[in-house]
Amino acid sequence: MKKGIFSLVILACFVLMHSNVMAQFDNDMVRVYRWYSSVDKNYVTLAEGEIQEGQLLQWKYKDKTMLFYGYKTPGPDRVAVYRWTNPVTKDQVSVAEDFMRDAEMMQQGYTLKSLQFYAPIRRNDNHIAVYNWYKVKAKDWVTVPEFGDTDKYIKKGWRQKTFQFYGVLRNELKN
């Protein structure tokens, strides 16, 4: 009888600790989306809550597409991902820290560097490679996970595919 009660207490403690660890994991994750601007005819990659969805819709952004998850906090084997904006071309690009020096980004006309999220730098079971593609004619970047429809981007003139980081994939029922 005592062994049974002890086993139940141990099992309950394990379940509570596991739930707490999973809750911390969930609190550190942030969804990352791609939006399309019908006005500027370019894409932007945004972490959830970075810019309010109502504001994006007012600015005529559409085609919100869930790409992957990132982390809200730094950690081992994670890289900071920044969004840069080019006010002349209206392009916004999300790049991993040290992909290009800040001076190079500014020389190309990008300003307003802002931290978006942290991304894994090593592949894991639930990680997916994330690339930036560049369209020379429009001077525009788009962020595409490796499972993205790459043929569609090639047909539309996107080239210069460059690895950036890994995104985290998760199974979930709601968006």
Could you give the CA distance from residue 102 to residue 83 in angstroms, rounded to a whole number? 12
pLDDT at 46 over 60: yes
- Which pLDDT band holds residue 18 (cuts at 50, 70, 90)? very low
Burial class (CB in 10 A: 0-12, 13-18, 19+), 67: buried
pTM, 2 dp: 0.78
Secondary structure (3-state) at 106? helix
Reference 99, options 128, 139, 141; nearest CA is 141
- Which pLDDT band holds residue 11 (cuts at 50, 70, 90)? very low
Could you give the CA distance from residue 68 to residue 117 in angstroms, rounded to a whole number? 12
Listed by start position, the domains of the chain span 30-168
pLDDT at 164 over 80: yes
pLDDT, tens only, 104-136 = 999 989 998 999 999 999 998 899 999 988 888
